[in-house]
Amino acid sequence: MDKVSMRIVLTGGPGGGKSDGLAYLKEALKPHGIRMCISHEVASQVIGGGVDDLPMLRKTSPKTYWNVQKEIFRRQLEDIERNERLAACFTDSHCVVKKFDRGVSDNAAYLDDKEFIKLCGQFGKTPAGYRMLYDAVIYLRTAAYGAEHAYTTENNKSRYEKDPKDARQTCDRTLQSWTGHPNLWIIPSYPTPEEKFARLTKVVLHVLGIPKKLEIERKYLLNRIPRCLGNSVYKVTSQIEQTYLLPSIEGKARVRKETQDGTTWYTLTCKTPVKAGSNLVRNQPEREISAESYAELLHWRDVDRRTVKKFRHYFAANNRYWVIDELLEPAKVIFMETEFVDPTERITLPSFVRDAEDVTDNPRYSTRAIAKRGLPKK
- Distance, in Å, from the CA atom of 123 to the CA atom of 181, rounded to the nearest integer, reads 19
Share of residues in the chain with pLDDT > 70 (%): 91
Question: Mean pLDDT over residues 318-324, rounded?
Answer: 96
Examine the pLDDT at 142 and tell me if it is beyond 60. Answer: yes
Inter-residue contact 207 to 10 (CB < 8 Å):
no
Going by C-beta distance under 8 Å and a sequence separation of 6 or more, which residues neighbour residue 153?
14, 15, 159, 160, 161, 162
Query: Residue 230: pLDDT band by 50, 70, 90 thresholds?
Result: confident
Mean per-residue pLDDT for 177-189? 96
Dump pLDDT digits (tens) for 86-136: 999 998 877 889 999 999 999 999 999 999 999 999 999 999 999 999 999
* Residue 305 in this model has a pLDDT that exceeds 90: yes
Range(s) within the chain of domains with CATH label 2.40.320.10: 214-373
pLDDT of residue 285: 77
Which pLDDT band, with edges at 50, 70 and 90, does 151 fall under? low
Write the CA distances from 293 to 62, 240, 296, integer angstroms.
45, 17, 5
pLDDT band at 225 (very low <50, low <70, confident <90, very high): very high
Pick the closest to residue 25 from 210, 170, 166 (CA basis). 210
Band of pLDDT at residue 153, cut at 50, 70 and 90 = low
> What is the predicted pLDDT for the residue at 160?
63
Indicate if the pLDDT at residue 150 is higher than 80. no
Among 97, 41, 320, 314, smallest CA distance to 187 is for: 320
Q: Which of 17-26, 277-286, 315-324 has the highest mean pLDDT?
A: 315-324
Q: What are the distances in angstroms from CA 292 to CA 243, 253, 266?
A: 15, 17, 10
For residues 46 and 64, what is the distance between their CA atoms, to the nearest angstrom? 13
Secondary structure (3-state) at 196: helix
Q: Which of 109, 102, 111, 105 is nearest to 125 (CA)?
A: 105
Percent of the chain with pLDDT over 90: 74
CA distance 360 to 341: 16
Q: Given a cut of 80, is residue 1 above it in pLDDT? A: no
Neighbours of 113 (CB within 10 A): 11
pLDDT digits (tens, 9 = 90+) for 45-70: 999 999 999 989 999 999 999 999 99
Look at residue 258 and give its three-state secondary structure.
strand
Cα distance between residue 320 and residue 184, in whole Å: 9
In the chain, CATH 3.40.50.300 sits at 4-208
What is the Rg, in whole angstroms, of the alpha carbon atoms belonging to the chain?
21
pLDDT for the residue numbered 157? 53
The pLDDT value recorded for residue 248 is 65
Tell me what pLDDT residue 251 has. Answer: 63
CATH architecture of 4-208: 3-Layer(aba) Sandwich (3.40)
Reported confidence tier of residue 316, pLDDT bands at 50, 70, 90:
very high
Q: What is the DSSP-derived secondary structure letter of residue 298?
A: G
Q: Which CATH superfamily is domain 214-373 in?
A: Hypothetical Protein Pfu-838710-001 (2.40.320.10)
C-alpha span between 301 and 324 (Å, rounded): 25
Q: Does 158 score more than 60 pLDDT?
A: no
More confident residue, 337 or 148: 337
Give SS3 for 369: helix
C-alpha closest to that of 16 among 93, 111, 109: 109
Round to whole Å and give the CA distance between 130 and 124.
9
Give the pLDDT mean for 276-302. 85
The upper half-sphere exposure of residue 331, i.e. CA atoms within 13 Å in the direction of its Cβ, equals 18
Flag whether pLDDT at 168 surpasses 70: yes
In the predicted model, what is the mean pLDDT of residues 283-295?
89
